[in-house]
Amino acid sequence: MTPAAEDVLVEGESTCFYHPAKKAILPCVGCGRFMCSLCDCDLNGKHFCPTCLEAGRTRKKIKNIERQRTRYDNIALFLVFCPMLLFYVTFITAPIVIVFVIRHWNAPVSMIDRTKTRYILAICFASLQIVGWCVLVFVLIGMFYAR
How far apart CA 75 and CA 37 sit, in angstroms, is 44
CATH number, domain at 11?
3.30.40
Question: What's the pTM?
Answer: 0.56
Q: What was the pLDDT predicted at 1?
A: 46
> Taking a C-beta distance cutoff of 8 angstroms, is the pair 51, 70 a contact?
no
The helix-helix angle for 90-103 and 72-81 (nearest 10°) equals: 160
Q: What was the pLDDT predicted at 39?
A: 87
How far apart CA 14 and CA 16 sit, in angstroms, is 7
Q: What was the pLDDT predicted at 145?
A: 87
Q: Are both 58 and 76 inside the same structural domain?
A: no
Last residue of a domain, one of 47, 67, 87: 67
Q: Are both 89 and 46 inside the same structural domain?
A: no
Last residue of a domain, one of 67, 96, 120: 67
Q: Are both 82 and 61 inside the same structural domain?
A: no
Q: Are both 76 and 139 inside the same structural domain?
A: yes
> Taking a C-beta distance cutoff of 8 angstroms, is the pair 6, 23 a contact?
yes
Last residue of a domain, one of 23, 42, 67: 67
pLDDT tens digits, 85-108: 888 888 899 999 999 999 999 887
pLDDT tens digits, 104-126: 998 877 666 678 899 999 999 99
How far apart CA 30 and CA 34 sit, in angstroms, is 11
Structural domain count of the chain: 2
pLDDT category of residue 22 using cuts at 50, 70 and 90: confident
Average pLDDT estimate for 122-141: 94
* DSSP labels, 92-142: HHHHHHHHHHHHTTTS---SS---SHHHHHHHHHHHHHHHHHHHHHHHHHH
pLDDT tens digits, 35-62: 888 888 888 788 888 888 888 777 766 6
> Taking a C-beta distance cutoff of 8 angstroms, is the pair 73, 122 a contact?
yes
Residue range(s) defining the domain that contains residue 77: 72-146
